[in-house]
A and B are shown apart, each in its own frame.
Chain A
Amino acid sequence: KNEVEQSPQNLTAQEEEFITINCSYSVGISALHWLQQHPGGGIVSLFMLSSGKKKHGRLIATINIQEKHSSLHITASHPRDSAVYICAVLMDTDKLIFGTGTRLQVFP
């Protein structure tokens, strides 16, 4: 069993839909990253969370440390949001473990 699980693996949405991507982990962590990888491979860090909630534009990330769960929400989705979204947990040992990613496609 992977230490970091993401769901769904693939997600298709219509423009303007509200999107949620989930990440569950089974190890002790000090922080959690949400990353975005566009076709062509470039990876961008979206958020780093250790508690609570963060918001940037149409993106919202939440984390529940007790439940070992984080969610990434996209409001009013747009085709340019199409990408692979990756959850990565920073373990107490400073090792970073990645989820397998969620491939999002948003259609106009």
Chain B
Amino acid sequence: GAGVSQSPSNKVTEKGKDVELRCDPISGHTALYWYRQRLGQGLEFLIYFQGNSAPDKSGLPSDRFSAERTGESVSTLTIQRTQQEDSAVYLCASSLASWTGKLFFGSGTQLSVL
């Protein structure tokens, strides 16, 4: 596709349910980042994938959060047993490689946990 695609664009869920968010990076981009942005706050790093290397999970806020990426394709971010504080916009970005080129951002998934 022409850009980074995220789905769904909006997700409303009940506290305690699991959710899965998807990111389709730009074809050929080896680097993929997940972030979140809570209302009125800055961007918070969650996890980073670079090619087939082990991902940097240092930003994941708890063990309820996990992410997968197969090769250099789609990534999914899973939040188990969602809590109200998980409500945020979850953003994905990709680049050709982490050390080169601009970042391209998806439009995000607005997650609301009731």
Contacts and interface: CB of A to CB of B under 8 A. Distances in A.
Interface in B59-109: 59, 89, 91, 93, 98-105, 107-108
A47 B31 CA distance: 17
Contact of A94 (B41, B43, B98): B98
Interface in A51-108: 86, 88, 90, 93-101
Interface string A25-64: 0000011010100000111110110000000000000000
Interface residue range, chain B:
20 to 34
Q: What is the interface of chain A mostly: helix, strand, loop, or mixed?
A: strand
Nearest to A92: B99
A44 B35 CA distance: 14
A43 B91 contact: yes
Nearest to B99: A30
Given A41-B108, A44-B105, A93-B56, A98 B89 contact: no
Interface of A: 30-31, 33, 35, 41-45, 47-48, 86, 88, 90, 93-101
